[in-house]
Amino acid sequence: MSASSEPVAPRVLHLNTEPTWRGGEQQVLYLMNGLAERGVTQAIVAQPGGPMAERARERGHEVIERRMRGEVDLPAVFALGRAIQAGGYNLVHAHTSHAHTLGALAVRLAGGKPRPKMIVARRVDFSIFRRSFFGLNGLKYKHGVDQYITVSEAIRQVLIKDGLDPGSIECVHSGIELRKILDAPERTAELRAELEIPDGHAFVGNVAHMADHKGQRYLIEAAPKVLAEHPEVTFAIVGDGELRADLLAQAEELGVSGSFRFPGFRRDVPSLLKAMDIFVMPSHMEGLGTSVLDALTAGLPVVGTEAGGMPEILLHEETGLVAPIRDADAIATHLLRLLREPELAKRLAEAGAKRVAEHFSTTSMVEGTLRVYRRLLGLDPDQAPQ
Q: Profile the chain (386 residues) by mean pLDDT over runs of 10 residues.
A: 60 96 92 97 97 97 96 94 96 96 93 90 88 59 92 95 95 95 96 97 97 97 98 97 97 98 95 98 94 97 97 98 98 98 98 96 96 94 63
Predicted local confidence at residue 140, as pLDDT: 82
> According to the model, what pLDDT value does residue 4 have?
45
In the chain, which residue ranges form alpha helices assigned H by DSSP? Answer: 23-37, 51-58, 74-87, 97-110, 136-142, 153-161, 178-182, 188-194, 216-229, 244-253, 269-275, 290-297, 310-313, 328-340, 342-359, 362-376
Percentage of the chain modeled with pLDDT above 90: 87
What is the b/e burial string over 303-314, where b = at least 16 CB atoms within 10 angstroms of the residue's CB? bbbbbbbbbbbb
Domains of the chain: 3-175+362-376 (3.40.50.2000), 178-359 (3.40.50.2000)
* 32, 62 Cβ separation under 8 angstroms: no
- Is the previous residue joined to 381 through a cis bond, with omega within 30 degrees of 0? no
Helix (H) or strand (E) holding 65: strand 63-65
Cα–Cα distance measured from residue 292 to residue 311, given in angstroms and rounded to the nearest whole number? 11
In the 8-state DSSP scheme, what is residue 114? S
Burial of residue 166 (number of CB atoms within 10 Å: 0-12, 13-18, 19+): exposed
- What are the CA-CA distances from residue 337 to residues 237, 271, 344 (Å)? 21, 25, 8
**What pLDDT shows up at residue 133?**
47
Which pLDDT score, from 0 to 100, does residue 319 have? 98
Which pLDDT value is given to residue 382?
76
- Spatial CA neighbour of 78 closest among 119, 108, 36, 33: 108
The pTM (predicted TM-score) of the whole model is 0.85
Distances in Å between the Cα of 297 and the Cα atoms of 45, 176, 238, 321 are: 32, 9, 18, 16
122-159 core/surface letters (b: 16 or more CB in 10 A; e: else): bbbbeebeeeeeeeebeebbeebbbbbbbbbbbbbbbb
Contact predicate 219/206, CB 8 Å: yes
Q: Are the beta carbons of 11 and 2 closer than 8 angstroms?
A: no
**What's residue 136's pLDDT?**
57
- pLDDT computed for residue 384 by the predictor: 57
Question: Comparing C-alpha atoms, which of 308, 306, 307, 291 is closest to residue 352?
Answer: 291
Strand ranges across the sheet with 321-323: 260-264, 233-238, 202-207, 278-280, 302-305, 321-323
Backbone angles phi, psi at 237, to 5 degrees: -110, 110
**How far is it, in rounded angstroms, from Cα 123 to Cα 113?**
30
Separation of alpha carbons 311 and 209, rounded Å: 20
Q: Is the dihedral of CA 41, 17, 282, 130 positive or negative?
A: negative
Per-residue confidence (pLDDT) for residue 129, from 0 to 100: 85
CA distances from 293 to 173, 212, 282, 318, 377 (A): 11, 21, 14, 15, 32
